[in-house]
Structure 1
């Protein structure tokens, strides 16, 4: 009897519980397919570079996020480009040449008229951390010729001073970029390389007399400089510079042994020159 009941009970058990096991396996399969699909989507998301943006054209949230991404990426690239270009362009080297006129003002300078001068040198523009504001130091070699003429009771006197100078202008320049216009203000340092002078007395009655190197000049000069300029192009500039010296061009120590009429003179150099600069 027991041997008949056992197979019956086993068959009943399988009949009741087999459908539930099948449902569980179906759910497991469904879950796996979902995970597989999710994993595939995740992999694609990880490697997605936005090249198929049209796939999500109807997704407003995605479109907004993608547009913001592109904007930020473009902005960063543009900022980096501008920084690199700005750094390269902010420090510029250049060469320039100048021509101008000069004179001497101060004590006992009557008779000193207009002389002439020319110079050439190099310059560099250095940013000062403020937009459109630069320091522009220069190294310049210049030649100056000062001219003197006056009438006396016995005829007339003529004199000239010739100097080769090494000048270091230190100019702080502000550029009005919208107008291609700039102004600068600074100091002008001068070191004499060589100098000579000539003094001639033209007598109405008697022989003329010429004396050389009787107007001694000092070896150092300091003055103020004012620049006004215009940028013809990004690389070509023209400017007018006015310089007023503060120190005596005449060497007071040696002047007493030279021309007596200039023994107590105070020669302050003034000049105006027109220049052109080429930057690179």
Structure 2
């Protein structure tokens, strides 16, 4: 009897202790998670800043998202400003022009208004001072000068045709509030080709015709004045006045006696349209 009672008591103790150990294992897994749950990260979705997101009420996520958006916006704005600043700083354009010309200087009487036309490239660059720019150009310009003079024997007529490669270098001050600009600079002309004609008309007949007896020089230097209006950032209109300081007449090669003691200082005015890119 005592042996049976002792065996029954031992069996009850073993059964009770097994139940306790089983409960302890379940409690540990409930507290810290099982091995499977510990190794698998919680499912998450991206935060788009909206109120419907599961992270909308999470302050940490909201702050992180705000910082991300601010940094992304700042970078985009910086890139935009850099691009805009470069385009504002240096602009490439084309210019077409047309106008009239004549000569001033000693023994230049009789030279009336001629015409000219041309076009080329220009670059607008800042000088580091607000509203002040330098605008160099490369322009091909055709000019025709006209001459007519009454004499005791009849009427003399002449013309000079010349193709010039001109390099105006203009410093421009911009009045942005009024869309106007004023420019002042140097104009350098290099002759590409040139020809001349001289007709001596006699009242008694027997007119005479001479070609290439009015020789022209290869280099011309003068001052330039610009007055312009900006229709937009990309389209400008301007009037340019140029007065040359050096004579277009080549004294050593001129063969027409009427001009041997003359000085031909070119004066011309052109109207031009510039288009920038």
Same fold (TM over 0.5): yes
Greater shift, 172-181 or 239-248, is seen at 172-181
Q: Which of 259, 267, 270 does residue 267 from structure 2 map onto?
A: 270
Which secondary structure state, in structure 1, belongs to the residue aligned with residue 29 of structure 2? helix
Residue aligning to 1:160: 158
Residue aligning to 2:143: 143
Deviation of 1:243 after TM superposition, in Å, equals: 1.4
In structure 2, distance between residues paired with 1:25 and 1:278: 82
Which secondary structure state, in structure 2, belongs to the residue aligned with residue 240 of structure 1? strand
Greater shift, 90-99 or 266-275, is seen at 90-99
**Cα distance, 1:191–1:39 mapped onto 2, change above 3 Å:** farther
Residues paired across the two proteins, number = 269
Deviations 1:136-170 (A, max 9, x none): 42332312214353x66x46764433222132334
TM-score w.r.t. the length of structure 2 is 0.71
Residue aligning to 1:249: 248
Q: How does 1:174-185 map to 2 (within 5 A)?
A: 174=172, 175-184=174-183, 185=185
**Cα distance, 1:2–1:186 mapped onto 2, change above 3 Å:** farther
In structure 1, distance between residues paired with 2:143 and 2:40: 82
Which secondary structure state, in structure 2, belongs to the residue aligned with residue 249 of structure 1? coil
In structure 1, distance between residues paired with 2:127 and 2:27: 72
Runs of 4+ in 1 over 6 A off after TM superposition: 1-11
Residue aligning to 1:48: 46
Q: Give the alignment's Cα RMSD to 1 decimal.
A: 4.2
Q: How does 1:38-187 map to 2 (within 5 A)?
A: 40-41=41-42, 44=44, 48-50=46-48, 52=50, 54-55=52-53, 56-58=55-57, 62-81=61-80, 83=82, 91-100=91-100, 102-106=101-105, 108-125=106-123, 127=125, 133=133, 135-147=135-147, 149=149, 154=152, 158-172=156-170, 174=172, 175-184=174-183, 185-187=185-187
Greater shift, 79-88 or 108-117, is seen at 79-88
Asked whether the equivalents of residues 188 and 225 of structure 1 are also in contact (C-alpha less than 8 Å), the reply is no
Unpaired segments of 5 or more residues in structure 2? none
Which secondary structure state, in structure 1, belongs to the residue aligned with residue 187 of structure 2? strand
Greater shift, 110-119 or 60-69, is seen at 60-69
Which secondary structure state, in structure 2, belongs to the residue aligned with residue 254 of structure 1? coil
Unpaired segments of 5 or more residues in structure 1? none
